[in-house]
Amino acid sequence: MGLLSDLTVVEMTAHRAGPFCGALLADMGADVVKVERPGAGDPARTQGPGPEKKSGYFQALNRNKRSVTLDLKADAGREAFMELIADADVFVENFGYGVTERLGIGYDDVTEVNEDVVYASVKGYGKTGPLKEKPGLDLILQAEGGIMSVTGPEDGDPVKVGQAVGDLTAGMFATIGVLARLHERDRGDGGGRFDVGLFDAIVSVMNEYPTLYSLTGDVPGPQGTSHQTVVPYQLFETADGSVVTGVPSDDRWEDFVEMLGRDELLDYPTNADRVENRETVVDIVQAEFEQESTDYWLAELTEHGFPNGPLNDVADVAEHEQARARDLLVDVEDPDSGEITLPGHPIHFPDHDVSVRSPAPRLGEHTDEVFADVAGEQTTLDQWRDGGAFGD
């Protein structure tokens, strides 16, 4: 029994942001029914390597869910959807602006049959503001939201973050919104709606950058591997690789200098001194790190109590002992892929299992199962099927 095992979530989303919200809720035990277009399904199904209509990209975002197909342009399909949503706790959608209203499944339509539903909308720019009707994708919004401008080699050209940070963060914020609305409903205030945009997510994770700009008027460029306000705190080259470390507070600076054996660094006792003399400080530290191996420095830094870590690639992370111990990566037997590694849930509850219970579903795999329960009688199910509710 998961934390959310008493909840039913109807998810009508595609690609990454909306499905990530559904995956997080499903990991915590919610029954997430993913509604997909007949024939094609979520476009992510065919994007990247993997079995037919079950790409690795799709599988990572749709574990623990059930899949049904519905044609909402058919009267029978819309009727079946309304029966499905009538008993749901949550509806998550990421259609373009105005599409749900045109399909007859907007907030007003849904609350006619379920006034207590939590209605979550994930958009490119949200549902308000001058750009609300503009489509938005992660890469575009990494640029427009500013995070691309501070990412990349120092003094080099901006580059995108190596993962779809806008999509994933928007999905995470949507999950928080769902839980907040559910809490409000538990107080007796009904369900309610909310929306979050990828643009919102990117600007939010910019965090202190706009605040610092308001204080100084300075516009930063790409930061490389260094930190915008703390020195030293970055990646350093070693004799055989790289290590990332930093000094979290001024009261540890003398210990760091003693470990390095470079007393001239004592001339920069405060972080403000080190920021002002960033190039000098970093060059001295870098010169020392180049003298020994990565393993040597990881051991030294750990022994002296400084945060540190190696620069790992995907293969390293896939076998990382901490990732495996925390079930952040879980090996699952999939009927189409064989054994596949899926992401686990990042929050750990000592009294609940939030691991992967089932692999991502085939397209429409659970249509008969779900709608047999929803219809309540065989004649209605047959009528929906004959009316094209589930596609051909």
Residue matched to tokens 């001058």: 130
Tokens 């051909």 correspond to 392
- Cα angle at 91 between 89 and 93, to 5 degrees? 170
Q: Are 10 and 161 in contact (CB under 8 A)?
A: no
In degrees and rounded to multiples of 5, residue 296 shows phi and psi of: -60, -50
- Which of 31, 71, 167, 200 is the catalytic position? 167
Secondary structure element (H or E) that encloses residue 294, with its range: helix 294-303
Q: How many CB atoms lie within 10 A of CB 186?
A: 8
Write the CA distances from 117 to 100, 121, 261, integer angstroms: 15, 13, 63
Told to judge if 382 belongs to the known catalytic residues of this protein, a careful annotator would answer no
**Burial (CB count <10 Å: 0-12, 13-18, 19+), residue 70:** buried
Q: Which residues contact 108 (CB under 8 A, 6 or more apart)?
A: none
Q: Which helix (H) or strand (E) holds 386?
A: helix 378-386
What is the Cα–Cα distance from 49 to 52, expressed in whole angstroms?
9
**For residues 355 and 343, is the Cβ–Cβ distance under 8 A?**
no
376 CB neighbour count, 10 Å cutoff: 11
Q: How many whole angstroms separate alpha carbon 144 and alpha carbon 136? A: 10
Long-range contact pairs involving 330-333 (C-beta distance under 8 Å, separation at least 24): 330/355, 330/356, 332/63, 332/356, 332/359, 333/359
Number of Cβ within a 10 Å radius of residue 318: 12
Judge if the upstream peptide bond of residue 310 is cis by omega within 30 degrees of 0: no
What CA–CA distance (Å, rounded) separates 344 from 329?
5
Strand partners, 35: 68
Q: Which two tokens stand for residue 187?
A: 């107080």
- 242-246 vs 308-310, strand pairing mode: antiparallel
Catalytic residues: 167
